[in-house]
Amino acid sequence: MLVVGKPSALAGLLLQRLPHCPSLYDAMDDFPAFYTGFSRASLARWERLIAQRVDVIWASSSGINAQWRGYRDDVHLVHNGLDLAAVLGIQPAPTSSTRKVFGYVGTMAFWFDWGWVAALALARPHDEIRLIGPVFEPAAHQLPPNVVLLPACDHGAALQAMAEFDVGLIPFKPNVLTASVDPIKYYEYRALALPVISTDFGEMHCRSDLPGVFISHSLTDLAALAEAALCCERDADEAHAFALQHSWEARFDATKLHS
């Protein structure tokens, strides 16, 4: 089987030269939204061409699913998931009873909401806002002193760092790109029994009623959400069940692609 994970000229050429090979396009993001100008238009053309040629499309979020269902019928919603073995190998770390850690692991680029992070830091001046990962677009203004920036690390170290958080953060700006995002870190946070505070974007918009998830709609709700998240009970058994339900193995089994 030929699986396309990102639209490209090479993928289009392979699909053209292997017309009888079973094929799948795994639409994990709104890829053209990462670019501007000619690059964006070119990638969109390749993506449409690939979508025409493959046998089936997987969409990783409701937004992408709706986008491609307007184009063809055989589109399947397959949410993101987590690496079960990696998550189950992480031991919860002891946390401070006084100074809490609100943490984020991931890329900080144009979709990252620095203003939201700064507002949370001001709302929790005695706690730490810990941000781990590469910074491609830094904050426009000086951050409060309780915001700590740490460098990128490998996936195993990232999961261990998450285990040291009291609350997991997903502070993304709502825009064309994030409207189609189902963040993998959501699954990892919850599988580690972390409550999650997220801005209102993409697939997170649909999770406001789920246990342990707190959706921020403005800067004025951060103090209340932070307090509610810290009061959320961390249940190891529920986290384990969540990890099993949302593992990549469970996702793959549900598609029945291998049968």
Q: At 111, list the tokens.
A: 């979709």
Contacts of 45 (CB under 8 A, 6+ apart): none
Contact (Cβ atoms closer than 8 angstroms) between residue 252 and residue 258 = yes
Q: For residue range 166-203, list pLDDT tens digits in order.
A: 999 999 999 999 999 999 999 999 999 999 999 999 99
- As a residue count, the chain comes to 259
Tell me the three state secondary structure of residue 222.
helix
- Of the two residues 252 and 92, the one the predictor is more confident about is 252
Q: At 88, list the tokens.
A: 């189950």
Bridge partners of 76? 58
pLDDT mean across residues, the chain: 93
Query: Where in the chain are all domains bearing CATH 3.40.50.2000?
Result: 84-244
**259 has a pLDDT exceeding 70:** no
Tell me the three state secondary structure of residue 109.
coil
pTM: 0.91
* pLDDT score at 97: 78
Tell me how far CA of residue 174 lies from CA of 180, 181, 184, 204, in angstroms. 10, 10, 17, 11
Contact (Cβ atoms closer than 8 angstroms) between residue 191 and residue 242 = yes
Please tell me the CATH superfamily of domain 84-244, with its number: Glycogen Phosphorylase B; (3.40.50.2000)
